[in-house]
């Protein structure tokens, strides 16, 4: 427990273009999103493990909406899985993500590339079972520089926000908890980032979720 928590966790801007809004989603909204993720996870085009070109298998399980992400590109079918057409991008999730960007940047929305006209069309839903993590990477398969919206549910995690140049320091480790909103855009849109570890057992049991879910909502720039 940090002394600062006596005063609650406030909005943070850990780097230019990166905004963390703790507890952005209320308990009811979190429960609704978890229920939706369960539906999205069902086959066909459901949650799957991703095998990298190196032969490594990612420890998270992923389902995509709108466009199917595979290493490294986007397609309309699950070409590295069951071959089914990707599920539609839910308009409600798009609305939520647009509100997220507007609220995160506030009056500064005009200074962040692609933020004012944010038109998301793809979401990646990652489930982190206990012990899962995600190595440092850039989200670079999108063709535009609009911000990425990230929503966290369930167990907390240590999220590593790196830099745009190298996979090494400097980086900032942030704790992301259930309901937190993280937006990264502007000068940090193509920064390295990853999940060092999750913190098992930190989720509110009422959420009924084992592990951690993360939803990133993005604008692909694809037609
Ligand atoms: O789980 C997270 O917080 C980050 C996920 C991520 O970086 C991604 O899906 O590209
Ligand atoms: Fe990412």
Residue 181: its pLDDT value, please? 98
For the stretch 81-99, pLDDT in tens is: 999 999 999 999 999 999 9
Residue 51 sits in a domain whose CATH number is 2.60.120.590
Burial of 28 (0-12, 13-18, 19+ CB in 10 A): exposed
Range of the domain at 137: 11-218
140 lies in some domain: yes
Here the contacts of 27-34 (C-beta below 8 Å, separation 24 or greater) are 27/179, 27/204, 27/206, 27/207, 29/179, 30/153, 30/178, 30/179, 30/207, 31/206, 31/207, 31/208, 33/151, 33/153, 33/213, 33/215, 34/153, 34/154, 34/207, 34/208, 34/209, 34/213
1 lies in some domain: no
149 lies in some domain: yes
163 lies in some domain: yes
Low-confidence ranges of the chain (pLDDT < 70): 1-7
Burial of 183 (0-12, 13-18, 19+ CB in 10 A): buried
User: Locate tokens 């459901």: which residue?
Assistant: 46
6 lies in some domain: no
Residue 13: its pLDDT value, please? 97
32 lies in some domain: yes
User: Locate tokens 């609305």: which residue?
Assistant: 95
Residue 5: its pLDDT value, please? 62
3 lies in some domain: no
Distance from residue 130's CA to the centre of ligand 2 (Å): 19
Q: Does the beta carbon of 134 lie inside 6 Å of ligand 1?
A: yes
Residue 50: its pLDDT value, please? 97
Residue 92: its pLDDT value, please? 98
223 lies in some domain: no
Ligand with the closest atom to the CA of 128: 1
> Counting atoms of ligand 1 from 1, which one is nearest the CA of 124?
9
> Counting atoms of ligand 1 from 1, which one is nearest the CA of 157?
3
Distance from residue 82's CA to the centre of ligand 2 (Å): 23
- Please give the tally of structural domains in the chain: 1
> Counting atoms of ligand 1 from 1, which one is nearest the CA of 216?
9
Q: Does the beta carbon of 62 lie inside 6 Å of ligand 1?
A: no
For ligand 1, atom 2, which residue shows the shortest CA distance?
Answer: 214
């Amino acid at each position: 427990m940090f002394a600062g928590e006596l005063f609650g966790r406030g909005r943070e801007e850990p780097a230019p273009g990166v905004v963390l809004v703790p507890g952005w989603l209320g308990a009811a909204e979190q429960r609704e999103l978890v229920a939706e993720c369960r539906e999205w996870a069902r086959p066909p085009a459901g949650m799957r493990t991703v095998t990298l070109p190196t032969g490594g298998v990612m420890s998270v399980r992923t389902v995509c909406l709108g466009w199917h992400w595979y290493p490294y590109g986007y397609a309309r079918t699950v070409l590295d899985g069951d071959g089914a057409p990707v599920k539609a991008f839910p308009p409600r999730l798009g609305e939520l993500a647009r509100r997220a960007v507007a609220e995160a940047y506030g009056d500064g929305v005009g200074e962040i590339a692609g933020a004012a006209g944010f038109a998301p069309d793809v979401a990646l839903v990652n489930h982190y079972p206990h012990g899962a993590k995600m190595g440092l990477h850039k989200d670079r398969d999108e063709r535009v520089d609009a911000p990425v919206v990230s929503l966290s549910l369930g167990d907390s995690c240590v999220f590593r926000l790196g830099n745009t140049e190298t996979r090494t320091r400097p980086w900032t480790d942030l704790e992301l908890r259930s309901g937190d909103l993280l937006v990264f855009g502007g000068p940090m849109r193509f920064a390295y980032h990853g999940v060092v570890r999750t913190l098992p057992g930190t989720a509110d049991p009422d959420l009924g979720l084992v592990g951690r879910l993360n939803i990133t909502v993005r604008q692909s720039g694809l037609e």
